[in-house]
Structure formats: C-alpha cells, structure tokens
Structure 1
Amino acid sequence: MNEPQDLQPVHSLDARSLRGLAHPLRMQLLNALRRGGPATASQLAAKLGESSGATSYHLRQLATHGFVEDAPEHGKGRERWWRAVHMGVQYDEALLNDGDPEVRGAADLLLHEVANQHTRELSTFLGTRGDWSEAWQRTWDASDWTLSLTPELARELIDKMHDLVESYRALAPAEGTPDAEQVRVHSHVMPIHTD
C-alpha cells in the first residue's frame, strides 16, 4: 500500500492541471489510489462501481496531467497498474476568479466535489461505525464551532490547524501496529450570515 511518505509533496494546480482534474470520477480515482495504493483500472472500476473503460480513460487523462503514473513493478503481463504521484493538491484562489469561464467552472466543480467527498466519507463512517473496534467507536469526532473572527484571524486559525495536523505525520505508527488505521481529518472554515 502507498504510504503518504512514498508520495511527492502537494501539487500546485494551474489552470491546465485544474481542468485535467476537475471531474468527479477523476477525483475519486485519484483519492482511491492515494489511500489504497497502486491498482489497475479494472480493480478501481469494481471498487467505484464504474466500467473499466471509463476508469481506464480517466486514468490516462490523470496521467497526462501528472497526477498518476504507471506502477510497472506491480504488473503481470498486459495488466497496467497505476499509482498516485502526490499526497494532495493545492490551488491559488485566483483560479476561482480567472478570466476564463471554463477555469472558473473547473475550480467550482473541484470545490464542490471536495465537499461531496467529505460528506460521503462521514456518511460512510456513520453507516459502518459498528464495524470498528470499541476504541475507534469512542475516538471519532464531528464537532463544529461558531466564532467571531476577522479574515486575518481566520487565516491564522487555518494555518495553525494545518500545522497541527501535519505535525502528526511524524508520529505515525509503524506499519502493522495493532489498531492503527488511516484517519481522515476534515477542516472547514467559512463565514456565515447570521440573519
């Protein structure tokens, strides 16, 4: 399985790579490879409930834009294996206000698909909570707070949360440690209207 330290750092999106990634199935494929490690188009199709033709096409598109690459050490015969290249992506806020409506649309789609992914992950956990050990059933969290902040304070909060989460990468237990699991951490900071 791909461990996060095996992947390159976060990839910065530009207008071209954003358009290459901003598709719901491509984002699902990339996330599946990041979390589950190398796989074939057929394996990913079965996992995601898609046709292998669709997954194969979208994997090639992801490769064209540098998000995935061949994993030949896993292949046997004509089987083509794929792996993620980066741990994650980041984008410049300017893409949301780009002069090209196609770029703005791709940025919007990317953000909405991330929000949908977060909702799916939480819903999946809630639906399978009873399958986890007692320790994990007592350790999950879905909290929210409402604060009064300036944009500068909100940015400081985001940076501090990101630094805290990143500091736990160095504490990751060795592979095979009992009860160690991949853990997803979602963070959302946004202004709201109070009326």
Structure 2
Amino acid sequence: MDVTSITPSPDALKALTHPLRLRMLGLLRIEGPATATTLATRLGLNTGATSYHLRQLERHGFVVEDTERGNARDRWWKAAHQATMTDTAPPADPAEKETLEAYLQSVAVVMTQTLQRSVEELGLLPPEWADATSYSDWVIRLTPARAKALLETLHEVLHAEPEEEDAEDAVQYVVQLNGFPYPGRVGGAGA
C-alpha cells in the first residue's frame, strides 16, 4: 500500500459520503487486500452491493485492483493510500459544501461505531493494552491560530515515530483526533 495520503477533490469526496464505503476503505487499509466477497461477508452485505461500492471507490482513486492476487474471476482490491486528509474550510460552492457536510457526517458515524466497538472490547483486552487505552477529552480556550498550531503539532507527533511492524506485540492502534470549537460558542454557528 502507498504510504501517502490523499486530499480528495470535492468530486472525489462524494464517493466517501456513504458510511459503508468509508468502512470498506478502512478495512482495506487495516486488514489489507480483499475480494468483494470477503468484504461483503465482513460487512454483512451482498456481493453485488459490495462490488458497486468498490467500483465507486476505484473511480475516485481510493482503491485499486491488486493485480498480484486473484485471477479474472477473483478480483482483489487494495487501498490506494494509507490516509485521507480533509480540508474542512467551507467551500464557496453550495454543492461542494453539501458534499463536505455529508462526508463529515459519514466520518462521524464510522468513528462512533469504531469507538463503540472499542468500549465493548475493553474488558477483554490484556492489562497492558487496557492501560494503553484512553477515552479522554479536553475543553480548552484557544484562538484559531493556536488551535491550528495544536493540530499541526499533534499531526507531527503521530507521524514522527517509526512503525514497529516487526515487534511481536504491535497491533494497529486507533487515534481519533477531533478538534473543533465547542458547539454553539462561535458567533454564527449553532444556537
């Protein structure tokens, strides 16, 4: 898998407004290449629906066919990028703004599902992993410039450590970073 990230165009972002597509892309990034049948089973879908969603993801450059696996009847898919970055500055075009909002709603749904599954499994984790798990939040006062600097610093920290892929106890570790003004506190937003 390419270790780069993608910042999709507004048109490409439309492909990610469906939560199932986000979950598919996430599974391909985390678990590696898969067939439509494998993904359908994992997501509780039929193969036709899964194939349709994969074609939409392919059309917009999020997944590619894994030509090193399978054959003409058995197509394998893999993620084209390791991460999706999103510019959350509101677009001037109303249609692009609507697409961005729909995408962010899908992100919230998928992140919430992942967080819920984590809470459900917490009691089953070995003590060292339970101790390395946190469900914390902070509400702090910041200016827009300081908030942007904070996000950039956290991004640098998360990308500074080399992956320990060969360590016996290494697993995929989810860091969900959400930074936003407290709802209803900025003029013109919320009520």
Q: TM-score, normalised on structure 2?
A: 0.89
Structure 1: runs of 5+ lacking an equivalent: 1-5
- Counterparts of 1:105 and 1:23, CA distance in 2: 13
Q: Secondary structure at the match of 1:129?
A: helix
**Contact in 1 for aligned 2:88/2:100 (Cα 8 Å):** no
Does residue 180 of the first structure (1) align with residue 173 of the second (2)?
Answer: no
Deviation at 1:113, TM superposition (A): 1.4
Match of 2:188 in 1: none
Contact conserved, 1:14 with 1:91, CA < 8 A, in 2? no
Structure 2 residue corresponding to 1:99, chosen from 93, 98, 103? 93
Question: Which residue of the partner structure matches residue 160 of structure 2?
Answer: 167
> Unpaired runs of 5+ in structure 2?
186-190
d(CA) in 2 for partners of 1:113, 1:81: 25
- How far apart, in 2, do the equivalents of 1:189 and 1:92 lie? 13
Question: Which residue in 1 is equivalent to 2:132?
Answer: 139
Q: How do residues 1-195 of structure 1 correspond to structure 2 at under 5 angstroms? A: 6-76=1-71, 78-94=73-89, 96-101=90-95, 103-168=96-161, 170=162, 172-175=163-166, 177-192=167-182, 193=184
Instruction: Specify which structure has the bigger relative contact order, considering alpha-carbon pairs within 8 angstroms and separated by 6 or more residues.
Output: 2
The 8 Å contact of residues 16 and 22 in structure 2, kept in 1 or not, is answered as: yes
> 1:3 is matched with which residue?
none
Change (3 A) 1:98 1:19: farther
Q: What SS does structure 2 have at the residue aligned with 1:188?
A: coil
CA shift in 2, pair 1:114/1:158, >3 Å: same
TM-score normalised by the chain length of structure 1: 0.88
Count of aligned positions:
185
CA-based RMSD? 1.8
Q: Which amino acid aligns with 2:142?
A: L
Shift of 1:8: 4.1
